[in-house]
Amino acid sequence: MGAALHIIHLALGGCLKAPPVTFGITADTGGHIAYVLEAAAAQSLQKGVDAVSVYTRLFDDPELGTAHARRSERLGPKLTIERIVTNDRRYLEKEELAGDLAAFAEAFCRHLAALPRLPDVIHAHFADAADIASTARARFGIPFVYTPHALGIDKRRQGFAGDALEARITAERAAISHANAIIVSTRDEADRQIGGYGITVADRVHCLPPGVPQRAAPTGEATLADHLDAWFDDASLPILLAIARPVRKKNLAALLRAYAADPALRAAANLVILAGQHDHATGEERAVLEELATLAADPALAGKVALPARHDASDVAALYTRASRGGVFVNPALHEPFGLTVIEAAAAGVPVVATHSGGPVEIVAALGHGMLVDPRDEGAIADACRAVISDADHHAALAASAVSRIGWYSWERYAASSLAVYRAAGQPRLLASDIDNTLTGCAESARAFAAWAETRDMPFVVATGRSFEEANHVLGAWGLPRPDAYIVDVGTRIMRRDGDGNWRACADYAALLDRDWDRDGAARALAGLSLTEQPPTVQTRHKMSFFGDSATTAAIRRALADAGVAARVIFSHGHLIDVLAPAGGKAAAIAAYAAGLGLPMSACIAAGDSGNDADMLAACGHAIVVANADADLDHLAPRPGLHRTAGRHAAGVLEGLALYGLALAPMQVAA
């Protein structure tokens, strides 16, 4: 990614269009739409960016606006929205998108294949987009970055349940596992939320606070703020303002109950709740709006509560301005992954009372513009609101702090930082190399590789068919470096150092290979064949090894299949046959080792020359096939990230590493 970048943002849900966006028009048209559009716009203004394209679904629903049926919209000189067409042209809510993902993925990949230049990175928003991006990476080698925005595991913690939620969590786990990099907005997202999935991510997670959403300023035409007297008996009172989608996790009913239960608060301020566009509400949204309407109908609240059925960007901007005059912005969500409205309020000089669960904790700490509360403690919500609006000096101090510190949340800063993440996302992070005829075979290039290894800043493992003892002997004989770990016995054993520096077999990996492996059954299935076994020293718990040709290999496969025994059969070097536990192999071992470092297979680079290297060369995001490779590897199809080198042996490995700027290009060395 040394040249100017072509960036794709991929977001499937909600009504994504050129501003102004009617937020709340559907349940999925919320803060992530603002995030995607603002991030893309800021990136398009950066030096070193050729183009930024926001990709989404095309749908045709006149009630939601005709723009969504247009194939393309230009937002700026280097910024467009592109819409992918499938046979289903309905607007689909998040829960319904799963049925269209396969068709969207195929259409998206066809579109990419037709582009004059492939994008350098795909930034996927939510797990459904990450699934599409993963498909595109497998086909084109394009790295992808994942932003979750909100995670299902937190909904589960709040008591939500169901098959759809479990499917979402499974998809999120896959996205976290496979993404080249992950961008979140807060440390809470990085540590507690992502961490809740139990996946080692190490330095793949980057915390980049977003900027302040840009709302259209009032045009001079009348807004909701100009008509508060239609709702309130005394429109001169300060307002408590809440803006959120009408879903249970936003906890708007708790705010209304807290307000209703506090006579002093009712006397001191009016309450305005913007809860989406009511005429488009469905399902859960409609139920929440009905609850709010029922609560607001309490005679004690007459002339005190406004629940506007519709609003636009100018209404929101005007209400923030109105709230800055002695009022407060309230975010009572059960959990808020970030809280764009909390920084939006700060930019308008509005103090906040916000949930103590999620992003607002970090925002309020950074800006010093409000108070945090337990969203389940309605008395605490009311007390905090009253404390802010009843003390003019305190209110002024909070507002001043917000305005003076809001520069911390800058889209320009986000854009510059995100470009650095993108550029690093496609780089290999771990080298796994075969030994025989890949690193060995040429003394001069072996010495050059050893010199490279002395200055490397990435993990290095060997992946060999040899035993641990044999591998150590060969490395020493050729003056090759000792690796960080050994993958031996054709990927059926991982050797790592323990706390005392001694080499030990990884017990977790051995247990993984035990599953579905019936070694005795395999031996019985093969007993009727006339096979020549390799020496007893190479027979292991998860590997049976023989000598033979391709015909012998085919006979072994047939015998195992006829007996119903699951196993992997690998033929290499023209005469070696290995029967492995079905979960074994070099690719599986690399995946297990890389996962322990927080790396997906897409971040690994494999180097090899023979048939027992084929699985790792196919599975790793990057692959080096040295020029002296056996015909066993002729079947490997060309793909992005797979390089067949001109150099032989270790010179070929260094040549491949040089393509990524990880080594100096070696001189061609005769074998």
Phi and psi for 269 in degrees, rounded to 5?
-155, 155
Q: What pLDDT does 218 receive?
A: 56
The number of beta carbons lying within 10 Å of the beta carbon of residue 72 is 10
Q: What is the pLDDT of residue 1?
A: 59
Give pLDDT, residue 61. Answer: 94
Domain ranges of the chain: 5-207, 224-409, 430-515+583-659
DSSP string covering 157-219: HTT--SHHHHHHHHHHHHHHHH-SEEEESSHHIIIIIGGGG----GGGEEE-------PPPP-
Give the three-class secondary structure for 221. coil
CATH number of 224-409: 3.40.50.2000
Q: What is the mean pLDDT of each run of 10 residues along the chain (671 residues)?
A: 87 94 88 95 96 98 94 97 97 91 97 95 98 95 95 84 90 96 94 92 94 72 86 96 94 97 97 92 91 95 95 90 96 93 95 95 96 97 97 96 94 97 94 98 96 93 97 97 97 95 96 96 96 95 97 97 97 95 97 95 96 95 96 92 96 95 66 43
Q: What pLDDT is recorded for position 114?
A: 95
Rounded CA-CA distance 465/436 in Å is 9
Task: Report the side by side order of strands in the sheet with 576-580.
Answer: 532-533, 543-547, 576-580, 568-572
Q: Is the bond into 483 cis (omega within 30 degrees of 0)?
A: no
Q: What is the pLDDT of residue 217?
A: 59
Question: Collapsing DSSP states into helix, strand and coil, what is residue 230?
Answer: helix
CATH number for the region 430-515+583-659 comes to 3.40.50.1000
Q: Using alpha carbons, list the distances in angstroms from residue 638 to 346, 599, 643.
A: 53, 24, 8
Q: What are phi and psi of 56, to 5 degrees?
A: -150, -175
Cα distances from 565 to residues 247, 509, 558, 620, in angstroms, run 51, 21, 10, 27
Residue 394: phi, psi to the nearest 5? -65, -40
- Domain 5-207 in CATH 3.40.50.2000: yes
By the 10 Å C-beta count (0-12 exposed, 13-18 middle, 19+ buried), 143 is classed as: buried
Do domains 5-207 and 430-515+583-659 share one topology? The answer is yes
**Cβ-based neighbour number of residue 235 at 10 Å:** 17
Integer Cα distance of 126 and 168 in angstroms = 10
Asked if 218 and 314 count as a contact pair (C-beta separation under 8 A), the reply is yes
pLDDT of residue 327: 97
Q: Quick one: pLDDT at residue 166?
A: 93
Q: Which has the closest alpha carbon to 178: 201, 196, 198?
A: 201
Helix (H), strand (E) at residue 252:
helix 252-260
Please provide the size of the chain in residues: 671
